[in-house]
Structure 1
Amino acid sequence: MASNNDSIQKTIIVALSLCLVCSIFVAAAAVGLKPIQNANKDLDRKRNILSAANMLDSNTSIDTVFESIETRIVNLETGAFATQAELDEAGIKPATYDQQAAAKDPQLSVALAGSEDPASIKRRAKFASVYLVKSDIGIDRVILPVHGYGLWSTMYGFIALEDDFNTVIGFGFYDQGETPGLGGEVDNPNWKALWKGKKVYNNQGQAIIQLAKGGVDNSDPQAVYKVDGLSGATLTSRGVTNLVQYWLGSEGFGPFLVKLRRGEVQ
């Protein structure tokens, strides 16, 4: 009996020792790979920003092309670039600011409910990253992060506008979990290409760009504000419309874009 007990004890000790050694190796690997994972995440972010702005160049590295883009932080409550004092108070560094994480922090975000939240995001960060492409005469294009709920998931993407801050250059999602073949068609390059040249705002300054159920009728005077809806994915299509109108509207980047048009922000 004692021999059996010794055998069980030894088995437990060996098992625990093995678990301890394995956990040490796993922890060390996680720590060692963290910089690589962060670098890959940052590279993927840059790739998606450049893709939205139609600036990907197969002959030039992503980092090199991205050098032409300036990252700024916008205070969504004022519609202006955040001051250094505001950034310092919030503990924000433009190059590393995580807007998704900020939206979960009550100190860095505001709660939304009901009609305030058409995009179903629940909380909106007080500050948002924007990406500017500049030329000798000013801002050539602006790339804005957008997100909102579809049928199954929160969809995260970027939309790029020309220097009139109204005409779409490109649009795409980099993270979504919609139904493959239906709502998942938001990743279809042919559908994303339909956004190019579309207008966001009407003459009254309202963000009315939307997905059209059944497709766009080009004879419609409002066709310039419409993109073909996703076949068989009504709720995803509605979610895309809601999130784009929200983020480009008065509660999102709308006031900032107005100031850009007027030359009130530098």
Structure 2
Amino acid sequence: MANKTDSNVYTVVFAAVMVVVVGSILAFLASALRPNIKENERFEKQQNILYAMGVNENGDDAGSVNFVPTDVVEDEFANYIKEQLVIQGDKITEDDEAYLIDLKKQLANIKKGEDYKLPVFIGEKDGEKFYIIPMYGKGLWDAIWGFIALDDTMTVQGVYFDHKGETPGLGANIKMRYFMDDFKGETILNGTQYAGISVAKGNNDPLNKTKDDNEVDALAGATITGNGVSAMISETVKLYKPYLETIRAK
């Protein structure tokens, strides 16, 4: 008599049982880890907002990007971020969890003509006030995003950029410190008009000493990603212009 374990029925049943067992284990792990994933996402967003306003662990030399450590980031966020605002049309309200708003979804709502919420973070450091605004756009391969910190003259006090899938060593360098540092001191105004900041190839200012030209030097081999950063900043400025006007009017 043939061994039952050699039958096709046994093979199918065994495979089905293993699928159920492994699937159940993976589902349990995903459920168990979800709170930690959400917590890490929250910490990361707080780190990014603080980084844009200059609250980080960077040294004086133009080295690597160093965030506020996760074990103290909540306290530092509460210490430096004095207000979290939500813009809904002409209405502006305070919301202590504005940083949890998914900007990608809000931009999609705007395109569909639906209700939306735009977050703004007001920080204070060394007696200076910072208006930190989130950004979201498209790079060469996938999404890019970040934060831009402005003062009341619309001068950039810092930025943070990140990406999902830009080319390593090329477009992915938007999150390198030397690139982000170039934006500090630039203005989003051209005279009295909002102009944003362009990532410009061959802008005759590779050391970025000129701060009133609305340009920073492009990354080598990353033209499309750079254009995406330029467009992202420009669209963000347009979107937040009514609010920015209230800051300038103070």
TM-score grouping bracket, smaller chain normalisation? 0.7 to 0.9
Q: In the alignment, which residue of structure 2 is the partner of 1:183?
A: 171
Residue type at the aligned position of 2:100: T
Residues of 1 paired with 2:115 and 2:236: CA distance?
12
Which of 214, 234, 240 lines up with 1:245 in the alignment?
Answer: 234
Q: How far apart, in 2, do the equivalents of 1:55 and 1:172 lie?
A: 11
Contact 1:185–1:191 (Cα < 8 Å) also in 2 = yes
CA RMSD of aligned residues (A): 3.3
Q: Which residue in 1 is equivalent to 2:180?
A: 192
Q: Which has the higher contact order (CA 8 A, sep 6+)?
A: 1
Q: 2: CA distance between counterparts of 1:152 and 1:81?
A: 35
Q: Is the 8 A contact 1:216 1:223 kept in 2?
A: no
Is 2:148–2:160's contact at 8 Å kept on the other side of the alignment? Answer: yes
Q: Quote the residue 1:149 is aligned against.
A: 138
**Counterpart in 1 of 2:110?**
109
Pairing 1:8-23 to 2, within 5 Å after superposition = 8-23=8-23
Q: What is the DSSP-based 3-state SS (H/G/I as helix, E as strand, rest coil) of the residue aligned with 2:221? A: coil
In structure 2, the residue matched to 1:127 is 117
User: How far is 1:5 from its partner?
Assistant: 9.0
Pair 260,222 (structure 1): closer, same or farther in 2 beyond 3 Å: closer
CA distance in 2, matches of 1:219, 1:151: 24
Counterpart residue type for residue 117 of structure 2? F
Match of 1:160 among 126, 146, 149: 149
User: How far did 1:258 drift?
Assistant: 0.6
Identify the residue that residue 33 of structure 1 maps to in structure 2.
33
C-alpha separation in 1, matches of 2:104 and 2:183: 25
Q: Is the 8 A contact 2:195 2:214 kept in 1?
A: no
Identity %: 28
Distance across 2 between alignment mates of 1:194 and 1:130: 23
Deviations 1:134-156 (A, max 9, x none): 4798x810111112222222211
- Gapped runs of 5+ residues in structure 1? 85-92, 112-122
- Name the residue aligned to 1:63: 74
- CA contact under 8 A between 1:143 and 1:161: conserved in structure 2? yes
The verdict on how the C-alpha distance between 1:200 and 1:178 changes in structure 2, with shifts beyond 3 A counting, is same
Report the 3-state secondary structure (helix = DSSP H, G, I; strand = E; otherwise coil) of the residue aligned with 1:248: helix
Paired residues of 2:208 and 2:216 also in contact (CA < 8 A): no
* Distance (whole Å) between structure 2 residues aligned to residue 238 and residue 191 of structure 1: 14
One-letter amino acid of the counterpart of residue 254, structure 1: K
1:24-73 C-alpha deviation (Å, 9 max, x unpaired): 11111111110001001111111111111111245882111100313221
Give secondary structure in 1 for the equivalent of 2:131.
strand
Q: Cα offset for 1:17?
A: 1.9
Amino acid in structure 2 at the alignment position of 1:101: K
SS at match of 1:151: coil
Q: Give unpaired runs (5+ residues) of structure 2.
A: 58-67
Counterpart amino acid of residue 92 in structure 2: F
1:74 aligns with 2:87: yes
C-alpha distance in 1 between matches for 2:114 and 2:180: 25
Q: How many residues align?
A: 236
Pairwise CA distance, 1:216: 4.2
